[in-house]
Amino acid sequence: MKDDYFKYRPDNNNKNIKRNLEIDKHISEYIEYLRFEKLLLKNTLTAYESDLAKFRYYILQNPDFNYRSIKKPQIVGFLKYLYKSHNDVSVSRILSTLRGFYNFLIRHRILEENPMSSIKNPRTPKKIIEILDQQEVNKFLESIPVSTPLDLRDRAMFELLYGCGLRVSELTGLKRGDINYEENLVMFTGKGKKERITPIGNTAIGYLKRYLSSGRGKIEKEIKTDYIFLNTRGGKLSRQGLWKILKKYAKKSGIEKNIHPHIFRHSFATHLLQRGADLRTVQLLLGHSSISTTEVYTNLSKEYLKDAYFKFHPREKAAYNE
């Protein structure tokens, strides 16, 4: 069904053929704008393309639907169509994509008004961010042995993932020249191709040095590369490869949570706030362009503070332990 979104439907009406070619041109121009001017990542671009393809497919199935002069009742019809196979979260995302698409058409003077501006996104439940507490992080890391070159790689990898709050793509993209051992800093290209510097703690850098001196050379084989973390063939470790490794240790650790790579980044940020770091510092360490993105972690730290208060305050401790 998904592939059908990208297929033309036979149409002998010259007016409709012209309209279909026109929207294809505009969608293509919008995607190019997102790729080269907004510098969106490949996965994000794929999501935009998928959303716009669904809109295009609906237009092809409804010859009377003119995207240039779309009215509210027609948008409602499109939403009803979406709700047959999509939930509130997906519909909200598609609406946001279309709102951006129409804003693009307005900026290029193709249209004068955004028909999507009067349509409110469906309310979606707040995304619950799951984290590992500090004991669980330690339990996970201690489940990784350090007896073989691959063990050393894995321990260094997850120590860095948690110790620096890195994204998976940032971790797998690290090269040997990105580490400043004298100043304990990691320098790399983050999301949106932005250069970022973050401190690296003594524990993480200790395991990294151990891996580089005793493990990496035995994995590298005849393939020569500057990437720090290698797969069993000696090439750059992929995101999918890291996922497989993570699943092995998640099972071994016995932690009954959905452990995914980003949970270490969430835990990194939350633990810093719990221990008194200010929001601006955490924002810089995570590489967030807006502090509002970082604020989601304050709710988690508030719960921690409330729990600590009722557990340890002398006037509340007795009631807590009853």
Instruction: Give mean pLDDT, residues 258-275.
Output: 92
Which residue in 19, 54, 265, 266 is the catalytic one?
265
Half-sphere exposure (CA, 13 Å, Cβ side) for 124? 14
Does the annotation count 216 as an active-site position?
Answer: no
Stronger pLDDT, 274 or 163, i.e. the higher one: 163
* 51 class by beta-carbon count within 10 Å (0-12 exposed, 13-18 middle, 19+ buried): buried
Could you tell me how far CA 319 lies from the centroid of its own chain? 41
Superfamily the domain 134-261 falls into: Intergrase catalytic core (1.10.443.10)
Q: Are 259 and 250 in contact (CB under 8 A)?
A: yes
pLDDT of 117 over the 70 cut: yes
pLDDT for residue 299 is more than 90? no
Q: Mean of the pLDDT values across residues 12-16?
A: 53
The question of whether 155 is a catalytic residue gets the answer no
Q: Is 235 helix (H, G, I), strand (E, B) or coil?
A: coil
Is 26 one of the annotated active-site residues of the chain?
Answer: no
pLDDT band at 17 (very low <50, low <70, confident <90, very high): low
pLDDT of residue 320: 43
Closest CA to 121 of 100, 146, 143: 100
Domain parsing of the chain, residue ranges: 2-118, 134-261
CA distances from 256 to 136, 140, 146, 304 (A): 10, 11, 24, 20
Residue 311: what pLDDT?
A: 63
Phi/psi at 179 (nearest 5 deg)?
A: -100, 125
Q: Are 304 and 274 in contact (CB under 8 A)?
A: yes
Among 206, 214, 205, 222, residue whose Cα is nearest residue 148 = 214
Among residues 86, 99, 191, 218, the one annotated as catalytic is 191
The residue annotated as part of the active site, out of 210, 227, 288, 304, is 288
Catalytic, 249? Answer no
Burial of 183 (0-12, 13-18, 19+ CB in 10 A): exposed
- Residue 131 structure tokens: 């984290």
Active site residue 109: no
Q: Phi and psi for 190 in degrees, rounded to 5? A: -95, -160
The whole-number pLDDT of residue 18 equals 64
**Domain spanning 2-118, CATH architecture:** Orthogonal Bundle (1.10)
Is residue 3's pLDDT more than 50? no
Distance CA 18, CA 277 (A): 58
Contact 215, 152 (CB under 8 A): yes
- Among candidate residues 252, 262, 280, 306, the one labeled active-site is 262
Percent of the chain with pLDDT over 90: 55
Of 26, 24, 22, 23, the residue nearest 107 (C-alpha): 26
C-alpha span between 35 and 94 (Å, rounded): 18
pTM: 0.61
- Of the residues 26, 54, 56, 167, only one is catalytic, namely 167
Q: Which of 48, 102, 207, 297 is catalytic?
A: 297
Q: For residues 61-84, give the mean pLDDT.
A: 87
Q: State residue 32 phi and psi, 5-degree precision.
A: -65, -40
In the prediction, which pLDDT does 62 show? 85
- Mean predicted lDDT score pLDDT of the chain: 85
262 is catalytic: yes
Higher-confidence residue of 159 and 71: namely: 159
Query: What's the rounded Cα separation, in Å, for the pair 101 and 82?
Result: 18
Pairing mode, strands 179-180 and 195-199: unpaired
